[in-house]
Amino acid sequence: MAATVHSPIVTYASMLSLLAFCPPFVILLWYTMVHQDGSVIQTCSFLWENGVQGLINIWPSPTAIAWKIIFCYGAFEAALQLLLPGKRVEGPISPTGNRPVYKANGMAAYFVTLATYLGLWWFGIFNPAIVYDHLGEIFSALIFGSLVFCVLLYIKGHVAPSSSDSGSCGNLIIDFYWGMELYPRIGKNFDIKVFTNCRFGMMSWAVLAVTYCIKQYEINGKVSDSMLVNTILMLVYVTKFFWWEAGYWNTMDIAHDRAGFYICWGCLVWVPSIYTSPGMYLVNHPVQLGTQLAIYILVAGCLCIYINYDCDRQRQEFRRTNGKCSVWGKAPSKIVATYTTTAGETKTSLLLTSGWWGLARHFHYVPEISSAFFWTVPALFNNFLPYFYVIFLTILLFDRAKRDDDRCRSKYGKYWKLYCEKVKYRIIPGVY
Ligand code: NDP
């Protein structure tokens, strides 16, 4: 059975509001960044004067060139996912006892993608600035195309599920929204969630960061230090992601959240448009920070990305070695937690209670949010909109921490209670 994460009423409300507000928000954010100087006030007064018709007028049609760019990019990434060599990696055991197997070739795909993109530019075959020039049409095509993709996922979940980690909760809307399959695949090897989340979504983040930089260079004949700091930090973050991609396959997104509208539409549309938005803003706002300030921001951002990586690494190393590792130079303190799978088997997991995981139960979200702040702050404080991603991420991660706590409480029962007594704070040590 598909796990319903929130009550049906919350799911209906969030699904309807995501469906109703996210697509226009993506278009309005792009329009404000690119055509209204990043000013929310200017866009609001435009909408005030022109109403819904104004929104319809600015909504770009998905043009042939937009579809071509998306198709070429998607097909290229799918081919890399299938064809590049990689180590065989096993994911965590699923609730019904399956263990998904992956090919870990994310880092290779990342380098091939960036090298190809820069190569196409360098040799004059394709100008990345074209992507920026057609960004509205691309987002518009992604909005509609991804919705159709999610409908197909829903149908696949019903008629051709890839594994026993699939099922309906009996409610069409919840099935569509939260998804039916945990590990949908095409054939035996093409993992759909690896494609949507990693190779399309996360990869597009790096590709668009580079695109914005090149576009600013094309407009001004040079790249501002603020754009450089933003692009470097985003690339460091995405490089970290692909370096650790096999670890990502153990996280909630892959191991717990099913392939539905929530995760797939989010990765196909929200990540390329919203996550990259501070860079989109900087294209026509070439702020000069000065070398000293630029270096301070760069170092602080890199430090946060490193700490976030180290939190994930610490937890996964602890699990991989069955607790026989060193955490901050000492043997780790832990809770041995037993739980029962849906098949009725009793299993054991270890919960780390020292190191980063002893500070708070989701401390890793603090450096995640701080990194986002540091790649946004080069935009300084003339406009609010570049900070939207940081605010959105804070809300997302606070909700995620609660969802994860609820899930772990029902999985581990008294052992989770014990963990909460030992590690009292949810995210910010001493505060929350
Ligand atoms: P994880 O899935 O990596 O960690 C939570 C899981 O770890 C829990 O479900 C539980 O799973 C296990 N766990 C919990 N506590 C412990 C413990 N003390 N010791 C050992 N295992 C424990 O979290 P996320 O998926 O939320 O985050 C992964 C990364 O992705 C982070 O770096 C995060 O910042 C990033 N992220 C970024 C987002 C973005 O939009 N930018 C969004 C979400 C995440 P189990 O059932 O195995 O016990």
User: What 3-state class would DSSP assign to 343?
Assistant: coil
The first and second tokens of residue 210, run together, are 């580079």
CB 267 within 8 A of CB 133: no
CB 279 within 8 A of CB 231: yes
- 313 Cβ closer than 6 Å to some ligand 1 atom: no
CB 269 within 8 A of CB 143: yes
The first and second tokens of residue 318, run together, are 């602890």
CB 211 within 8 A of CB 73: no
What gap in Å lies between CA 18 and CA 191, rounded to an integer? 25
- Helix or strand run (H / E) with residue 340: strand 334-340
* Residue 272 identity: P
The per-residue pLDDT for 346 is 86
- 400 Cβ closer than 6 Å to some ligand 1 atom: yes
The per-residue pLDDT for 430 is 84
What gap in Å lies between CA 212 and CA 128, rounded to an integer? 9
Residue nearest to atom 22 of ligand 1 (CA): 351
Give one DSSP letter per residue of 86-116, joined into a string: -EEEE-PPPTTS---EEEE-HHHHHHHHHHH
In degrees and rounded to multiples of 5, residue 335 shows phi and psi of -120, 130
CA nearest 141: which of 210, 197, 61, 221? 61
Atom of ligand 1 nearest to the CA of 364: 34
Q: Count how many residues are written for the chain.
A: 432
Candidate from 202, 248, 251 with most ligand 1 atoms within 8 A of CB, to mutate? 251
* Residue 214 identity: I
The per-residue pLDDT for 95 is 78
- Which residues are bridge partners to 338 per DSSP? 348
* Residue 307 identity: I
- 334 Cβ closer than 6 Å to some ligand 1 atom: no
- Helix H segments across 192-258? 192-193, 203-220, 225-243, 245-248, 252-255
The per-residue pLDDT for 2 is 41
Compute the distance from residue 252 Cα to the ligand 1 centre, in Å.
Answer: 6
For residue 146, what are the CA distances in angstroms to 33, 138, 143, 267, 398?
23, 12, 6, 9, 26
Compute the distance from residue 400 Cα to the ligand 1 centre, in Å.
Answer: 9
What gap in Å lies between CA 68 and CA 283, rounded to an integer? 24
- 364 Cβ closer than 6 Å to some ligand 1 atom: yes
What gap in Å lies between CA 350 and CA 415, rounded to an integer? 10
Atom of ligand 1 nearest to the CA of 255: 2
Atom of ligand 1 nearest to the CA of 315: 20
The per-residue pLDDT for 182 is 93
What is the DSSP pairing of strand 87-90 with strand 101-104?
antiparallel
- 310 Cβ closer than 6 Å to some ligand 1 atom: no
Residue nearest to atom 1 of ligand 1 (CA): 251
Compute the distance from residue 180 Cα to the ligand 1 centre, in Å.
Answer: 22
CB 181 within 8 A of CB 163: yes
Compute the distance from residue 224 Cα to the ligand 1 centre, in Å.
Answer: 35
The per-residue pLDDT for 6 is 64
- 408 Cβ closer than 6 Å to some ligand 1 atom: yes
Half-sphere exposure in the Cβ direction for 222 (13 Å, CA)? 6
Candidate from 389, 390, 408 with most ligand 1 atoms within 8 A of CB, to mutate? 408
Atom of ligand 1 nearest to the CA of 419: 18
- 372 Cβ closer than 6 Å to some ligand 1 atom: no
- 168 Cβ closer than 6 Å to some ligand 1 atom: no
User: How far does CA 192 lie from the centroid of its chain?
Assistant: 15
What gap in Å lies between CA 226 and CA 386, rounded to an integer? 13
What gap in Å lies between CA 377 and CA 36, rounded to an integer? 20
What gap in Å lies between CA 268 and CA 132, rounded to an integer? 17
* Residue 381 identity: F
- 368 Cβ closer than 6 Å to some ligand 1 atom: yes
Half-sphere exposure in the Cβ direction for 157 (13 Å, CA)? 30
The overall pTM is greater than 0.85 = yes
Per-residue confidence of the chain (432 residues) as pLDDT tens digits? 344 556 778 778 888 888 889 999 999 999 999 999 999 999 999 999 999 999 999 999 999 999 999 999 999 999 999 999 999 999 988 878 889 999 999 999 999 999 999 999 999 999 999 999 999 999 999 999 999 999 999 999 999 999 888 888 888 888 999 899 999 999 989 999 999 999 999 999 999 999 999 999 999 999 999 999 999 999 999 999 999 999 999 888 898 889 999 899 999 999 999 999 999 999 999 999 999 999 999 999 999 999 999 999 999 999 999 999 999 999 999 999 999 877 778 889 999 999 999 999 999 999 999 999 999 999 999 999 999 999 999 999 999 999 899 989 999 999 999 999 999 999 999 888
The DSSP code for 377 is G
